[in-house]
Structure 1
Amino acid sequence: MKKTIHINLAGMAFHIEEDAYAKLEQYLKDVDRALGSDPGKKETLDDIEGRIAELLHPLAGENDRAVNSENVDDVIKVLGSPDDYKLTGEPFEGEEPSARSAAFAPKPVKKRLFRDVHNRILGGVCSGLGAYFNIDPIFFRLFFVLAIFLGPFFWISFLPYLILWIVMPKAYSIEQRMQMYGGEPLMAKSRQPYKSSGANTFFRILGVAFGFLLMLISFVVLTTIAMVIFPFVGLAEYIPGGEWIAGLPFIFFPEIPWFFSSALFMFLAIPFIMIFYLGLHLVFRFKRGGKYIGATGLILWFVSIGVLSIGGGWIAKNFSTHELIQEEFLLDDFNGDTLYVKHTNKGAGKDAVYFKDFYVNKDSDQIRVSARANIYLRKNAPDFLISIERHARGRNKYDAFENASNIDYFWNQNDSVLEISRFFELKENSSFRKQRVNVTIEIPEGMEIDGDRRLNVLR
């Protein structure tokens, strides 16, 4: 580790590496020699030291790091070589002697858009925009924060900020910071990046609170993802209802490969891991390591997408073949001409969790999967019967047939009352393969039916 020296420049304290100090000291000596007998030499040297201090302050202020030789080279590049300060003639009438150092005057610099990493609350986007447009960054921060909380305008605020964070480079070097401010003095009255206003303090407090919120939300989501995808991690028993939620993946793919589960976990979890890391950054304000963590996360996320893409073909194969089992049962004749249909909800409890095509119930530590049956009525049919079609998909015809066979559907006739369930249920340990049930009640001419408000009448 290089040895550092503590120095003062223009009333500001710096830690500077020995070789950098030697280079800076030699530069000031050379400027002193170039100024020769200029009556305003002391004033010029004081101005140069002040300029050096204001150029180095933002860089050295981050993590109180020591000024290195490269920083000094950047300063010299901005201020010019010692020869630029040599006197070229007698002063003009009314001219201050110190004004003879033409090279010390600010040189035109083309403005560029950078992220100000030395005056940031999150990514330095707002402070960079403030420097570029010569506006207090507090106005940009207010705009982004207010837009986030205005519902429909969330994406108008969040997406542009995210895009700017990605495309705007960081202003690390002195030359980049000069370009960011368009060559204006970095420590001028309107450019005091290290003096926090009350509004900036408020935003820092808000950032810490928001960081804690991000950490909490991402932790809960990550725990849930791990519990659902990897039930064997043992988290389910600590979460109310978690023991049956953890079994949901087995409804779809009980034989799912471990590497596919890992890829699915990475795909879902990595964005929330990054959100958790962002929360840590907002709370603890550390400044190093983020790009390596982000790059690693991005690489793993793309790897997971690749594995999932390959696994997608394997998943699609499980739904590639359709099979149908159809049964017809003749109904018993009864006295009278009206059939009373009684609907039941057998197969779907009141606490069932509804997904897109099916319901999931927990019954005595068992997971039951049910779905709504399609019930039809055909009038003026040649026979008095009930027809039940069980549909399912699988990897092949045999697999699809087995999946269709594992469908339970309840119905019962008691004289003139036909009891039918509005739901069918999958047998224990069955996988969901787009099962469906079509039930058709056929009644002969002259027979009436009561309860057809829930029946789809076939023409």
Structure 2
Amino acid sequence: MNKTVSINLGGFFFHIDEDAFQKLNRYFDAIKRSLSPDGRDEIMNDIESRIAELLSEKLSSDKQVVSLNEIDQVIAVMGQPEDYRLEDDADTPKQTYTTYTTNGSKKLYRDKEKGMLGGVAAGFGHYIGLDPLWLRIILILLTLAGFGAGIVAYIILWILVPEAKSTAEKLEMTGEPITISNIEKKVREGFGEITDKINNLDHQKIADEAKSGATKVATTIEDVFLVIFKVFAKVIGAIIVIFSLMGLIGIVVTSFMMIFTAAIPNSPFFDFMNAFNYTDMPMWLLGLLTFLSIGIPLFFFFLLGLKILVNNLRSIGNVAKFTLLGIWIISLIMLIYLGIRQATEVGFEGKVVEKKNIDLTVNDTLHIKMRFNDYFSKTADSDTEFRFAQDSAQNEVIYSNNIEVHILRTSEAPYVQIEKVAGGHSLSDARKRAEKIKYNFEIKNSTLFLDNYLLTGIANKYRNQKVKVYLYLPEGTIIHPGENVDDYLENNYSNYYLQSGNDQYHYRVEKEELKCLDCPIDENEEWNEDDADSTNTTTTVTINGKGVQIKENSKKEVTKSVEGVELRKDKIIINTK
């Protein structure tokens, strides 16, 4: 039975048995002895971080103890210190963006050292083995041709793709094996670049610029703007988190209702949703596609907001990112395909027409009444676009008040034309659905009775079924509309209007309007501003002791008299406009 030791290695906490700890300790001492003093601490930090990552991958839980077996496996990956002795080589060639032939697997990072802004293009250049210049050209073309799509894509990748900071991450970015020799080589290259930059500096120029007050002012302004930008970014991040979380909750609830109600075909919600499902695809599949195509982008926006708010937020990993991206693309393509099918299912409109003459004499008045069925509704002014119901024979039907009444003028005898309309994926399919619409009307004793509803079988589904009633009347015909007729009257083809909600008035069909015959004057006539400026000729008849005096004068008259005659004391005023 061995003792266990708790250690902190590269920022990770491990339980390790005493033999494994001693071997790991000797391994670190051997590495330190094999390294030169220059950059030794940084190299050791990178080596410890890499070993900690390897051990974390091998342990199944945080409570598992690291044994000699795991230490031997890590040493086999990292290599023995005596096997790697790097000599300084001033002629080491610069790194180029070519595909590596090493056995190490690459990971996607941002390379800010070789990047122009955030290092996105340089990082992708390492990952796919392509010069970042071509990637920058592609981003510029996307920005110009795609209305800024390149900028949006760059910013999103800048936020989501982590930066290669440690030596191990820089090696993973280029696909080089993370071994002791490569870590030491990378660190030495970094020291070499820094030394070259220092040697090439104009020290006098730096000294002069350091003394310049303008540089200090510029630095202060930059710091102020940086603080403001950080605060603004935090606010934006909070807004993104709140709205994306609300959207996620909404889409999860909606999608799960669609998925789980599919197992209960007789539920009202399922029947309602399935009536609008023109594609006949399973409801659970539609719910799943809706969840994936909308939920995944909302999830990424949620992570984006969290990343803005939390500086050290751990990434979900490139595998998870690209997996979700692939699933989202597939679900979006399928949803677009179903959307196209959904649109084509009502792409054509078919109708069935029924025409019937109306027998009216010259002195007859046509009464129009909307009637309702109290089995479906207890009032005639109900307005239901679509509803499931049962008729008196307990047959499941679709009930709708989608009825339109149009009054038009004709030079022929009066008649009524009923058009039953429905949508479909073809003209023949739409006509078949229109034929299955049930609608009743009746002409009896100069009265036109119109149903205010239509019915169709639930198997026909909802395909924008409606009934259009066209009432063709000769000029001069007098009509008496019922109380609810104005709720269904449309004036798409004429300027005919009715007084709202009143069945007391009679109207005469004229060329341009329905003339109300018995409406109150203040309701029937509108004030015309031209009347105030019109010039009237007034004849004044004065009766007094001197006899009768008749006088005509012209003046602007704004007072209106119904009969055209006004009495004022001993005057009779006759307006002859």
Report whether the alignment pairs 1:247 with 2:247: no
The change in CA–CA distance for 1:290 and 1:411 in structure 2 (over 3 A counts) is farther
Q: Distance in 2 between matches of 1:288 and 1:254?
A: 41
SS of 1:438 mapped into structure 2: strand
Contact 2:278 2:345 survives alignment (8 Å): no
Q: How does 1:7-406 map to 2 (within 5 A)?
A: 24-31=28-35, 45=37, 48=39, 50-52=41-43, 81=86, 110=114, 161-165=155-159, 168=161, 170-171=163-164, 173-174=166-167, 214=244, 217-228=247-258, 231-234=261-264, 243-253=267-277, 256-258=280-282, 262=285, 265-273=288-296, 275=298, 287=314, 290-308=317-335, 315=342, 318-319=345-346, 322-333=349-360, 336-342=363-369, 359-361=385-387, 363=389, 368=398, 370=400, 372-395=402-425, 399-406=429-436
Which 10-residue stretch deviates more, 331-340 or 379-388? 331-340
Q: How far did residue 224 of structure 1 move?
A: 1.4
Letter in 2 for 1:444: P
The change in CA–CA distance for 1:159 and 1:352 in structure 2 (over 3 A counts) is farther
Q: Distance in 2 between matches of 1:290 and 1:233?
A: 35
Contact 1:231 1:247 survives alignment (8 Å): no
1:78-97 C-alpha deviation (Å, 9 max, x unpaired) = xx95769xxxxxxxxxxxxx
Q: Distance in 1 between matches of 2:157 and 2:383?
A: 42
- Structure 1, unaligned runs of 5 or more: 33-44, 74-79, 85-107, 117-154, 185-196, 238-242, 354-358
Q: Distance in 1 between matches of 2:54 and 2:239?
A: 23
Q: How far did residue 169 of structure 1 move?
A: 5.3
Instruction: Tell me which residue corresponds to 2:93.
Output: none
- Structure 2, unaligned runs of 5 or more: 58-70, 80-84, 90-111, 121-148, 171-186, 195-226, 495-510, 512-577
Q: How far did residue 308 of structure 1 move?
A: 4.8
| TM-score (ref. length: structure 1) | 0.52
Contact 1:14 1:60 survives alignment (8 Å): no
SS of 2:458 mapped into structure 1: coil
Which 10-residue stretch deviates more, 17-26 or 374-383? 17-26
Contact 1:325 1:405 survives alignment (8 Å): yes
Q: Distance in 2 between matches of 1:7 and 1:306?
A: 48
Q: Distance in 2 between matches of 1:311 and 1:175?
A: 47
- Matched pairs, number: 349
From 439, 443, 449, the equivalent of 2:473 is 443
Q: Distance in 1 between matches of 2:297 and 2:350?
A: 44
The change in CA–CA distance for 1:175 and 1:300 in structure 2 (over 3 A counts) is closer
Letter in 2 for 1:449: I
1:129-173 C-alpha deviation (Å, 9 max, x unpaired) = xxxxxxxxxxxxxxxxxxxxxxxxxx9x9987535335x454264
Q: How far did residue 377 of structure 1 move?
A: 1.9
Contact 1:114 1:171 survives alignment (8 Å): no
Q: Percent identity?
A: 17
Q: How does 1:403-418 map to 2 (within 5 A)?
A: 403-413=433-443, 415-418=445-448
Q: How far did residue 391 of structure 1 move?
A: 2.5
Q: Distance in 1 between matches of 2:259 and 2:350?
A: 29
Contact 1:229 1:246 survives alignment (8 Å): no
Letter in 2 for 1:174: T
Contact 1:339 1:449 survives alignment (8 Å): yes
The change in CA–CA distance for 1:274 and 1:266 in structure 2 (over 3 A counts) is same
Q: Distance in 1 between matches of 2:442 and 2:368?
A: 10
1:215-244 C-alpha deviation (Å, 9 max, x unpaired) = 56424422312423663234x99xxxxx43
Contact 1:351 1:361 survives alignment (8 Å): no
Q: Distance in 1 between matches of 2:7 and 2:48?
A: 14
The change in CA–CA distance for 1:164 and 1:267 in structure 2 (over 3 A counts) is farther
Q: Distance in 2 between matches of 1:361 and 1:439?
A: 21
1:99-152 C-alpha deviation (Å, 9 max, x unpaired) = xxxxxxxxx955665599xxxxxxxxxxxxxxxxxxxxxxxxxxxxxxxxxxxx
Q: Distance in 1 between matches of 2:480 and 2:48?
A: 88
Contact 1:375 1:456 survives alignment (8 Å): no
Compute the RMSD of aligned alpha carbons. Answer: 6.0
Letter in 1 for 2:159: W
Q: How far did residue 301 of structure 1 move?
A: 3.3
Contact 1:390 1:435 survives alignment (8 Å): yes
Choose 1 or 2 for highest CA Rg: 2
The change in CA–CA distance for 1:254 and 1:379 in structure 2 (over 3 A counts) is closer
Contact 1:378 1:457 survives alignment (8 Å): yes
Which 10-residue stretch deviates more, 274-283 or 419-428? 274-283
Letter in 1 for 2:167: I
The change in CA–CA distance for 1:397 and 1:380 in structure 2 (over 3 A counts) is closer
Q: Distance in 2 between matches of 1:415 and 1:27?
A: 111
Instruction: Tell me which residue corresponds to 1:123.
Output: none
